[in-house]
Amino acid sequence: MELNIRDPEPGLRVTGLRVSFHGRPAVEDASLDLPRTGVTVLLGRSGSGKTTFLRALNRLNECFPGCETTGSILLYPGGRGGEGLADGTPTTPCGVPGPDGPCDVLGPSGPCDVLGPSGPALTELRRRVGMVFQTPNVLPMSIRRNLLLPLELVRGQLPDAPARMQAVLTDVGLWDDVRQRLDRPAAQLSGGQQQRLCLARMLILQPDILLLDEPTASLDAATTRDVEHLVRRLAADRPVLMVSHSLGQALRLADRVVIFANGRPQREFTPADLGGDAGRDALMQALL
């Protein structure tokens, strides 16, 4: 149950990460490996730095003023479908800044401006590290454009874009609901449907890693269960890092539960640890 931050074949490796806003640290000395597949659930009290940690992985914190990020985040290629070699050697150079081999998300010279010279590389990083937020945040346009516009802007004009759209909508269980109203505003969908649309919008960009920030926080029980099934399926061939406040959800979903406190991962639990009362008591103790 002690934190075992190192994985022999990581999909993502975080070492000594520190994120501060206007000099005040939100994440400090955080180190963690994400395995190549499976769901890692981050549990912790509000304000412990979980969301900041998540946003550091796709450098979204840099959209906020006064943010400073140091440390190392290595993104290992080949997470999905044999697109790279098993030992982490990239088969093709990837656009994310960093030396060959695993790409250093923060770049060799530390974090850079979102719009700085490494803009396109940042674009590629965020495509590869997909993120879904706590509240559904559909773009104020039609359902079809919600999916096709990011795809077009990030990956260019693709002849099979409509087929991809149908595939991801089917994947998230939304195709039958929206096939007749693809050109209607996405904001007309229910909260659960909007969140599934957000998942589909992320999936159409074919990310290697999924970051989910309490994706079921605003959903009802039935939709939560659907999304959880979907997350389990998606985690079969890529790492999923998910923030949750629900102990039950962590028990249902997680291949690994990491307790986050004081701006860093502190302890971890596996499903085997949590099978008995002692493990659950230890988890509760760690959370309190």
Instruction: By CB under 8 A, tell whether 115 contacts other proteins.
Output: yes
Query: Smallest Cα–Cα separation from 200: which of 228, 235, 164, 232?
Result: 164
Beta 38-44 vs 239-243: how paired, if at all?
Answer: parallel
Looking at residues 39 to 78 of the shown chain, list those that interact with other proteins (rule: CB under 8 A).
58, 60, 63
Residue 121 and residue 94: Cα distance in Å, rounded? 9
Instruction: Give min distance, CB of 54 to other proteins, in A.
Output: 11
**What one-letter code names the amino acid at 2?**
E
Q: How many residues bind other proteins (CB under 8 A)?
A: 37
- Decide whether 27 or 121 has the Cβ nearer to other proteins: 121
In the complex with other proteins, which residue's Cβ is closer, 7 or 124? 124
Stretch that binds other proteins, among 103-111, 142-150, 245-253, 266-274 (CB under 8 A): 142-150
Shortest gap between Cβ of 223 and other proteins (angstroms)?
20
* Residue 166-185 contact track with other proteins, rule CB under 8 A, x = bound: -----------------xxx
Residues 117-136 that bind other proteins (CB under 8 A): 119-120, 122-127, 130-131, 133, 135
Helices (H), the chain: 50-57, 119-128, 143-155, 161-171, 175-178, 191-203, 221-234, 247-253, 277-287
Q: Min. distance of Cβ 188 from other proteins in angstroms?
A: 7
Give Cα 142 to chain centroid, integer Å: 25
Q: Which residues of this chain interact with other proteins, rule CB under 8 A? A: 58, 60, 63, 114-115, 119-120, 122-127, 130-131, 133, 135, 137, 139-143, 145, 149-150, 153-154, 183-188, 201-202, 205
